[in-house]
Amino acid sequence: MSLKKQFVKTKPVCKVTFSVDAKEANSAAVVGDFNNWNAEEGTLSKLKNGTFKATYDLVKDAIYEFKYVVDGHYINEPEADSHKWNDFAGSENSVLVV
């Protein structure tokens, strides 16, 4: 799993690439504050090497909580900027600072 941030100088956005190595998985998505926790809006595409990947434009100067959904299971990003407890979910969420 990994995160890649690319700041755009001419726009108030950051291009964030989410990657999940899940060779055996059938589906993967990223859900979070930036897409109302909607897996359909956060679908990741499966590459030939088994990695699921997608890039999204997120508003800069913001903090987002998120998780990956791999075959229906919620997974945190170990390389996230931090992790934060979420009482609603009863678990930690990954935190992304852009």
User: Could you tell me the two tokens for 10?
Assistant: 């001419």
Distance CA(76)–CA(37), nearest Å, equals 14
| Residue span of the structural domain in which 30 resides | 2-97
CATH number at residue 47: 2.60.40.10
Beta bridge partners of 3: 18
Interval 17-54: pLDDT, tens? 999 999 999 999 999 999 999 999 999 999 999 999 99
pLDDT for 91: 93
| Mean pLDDT, residues 55-62 taken together | 96
Domains in the chain: how many in total?
A: 1
pLDDT band at 88; cut points 50, 70, 90:
confident
Percent of the chain predicted with pLDDT > 70: 100
Spatial separation of the C-alpha atoms in residues 86 and 34, rounded to whole Å: 16
Residue reference for tokens 């600072």: 97
pLDDT of residue 1: 77
pTM assigned to the model = 0.93
CA 28, CA 44: separation in Å to the nearest integer?
6
Other C-beta atoms lying within 10 Å of the C-beta of residue 87: 6
User: What integer best gives the mean pLDDT of the chain?
Assistant: 95
* pLDDT number for residue 16: 97
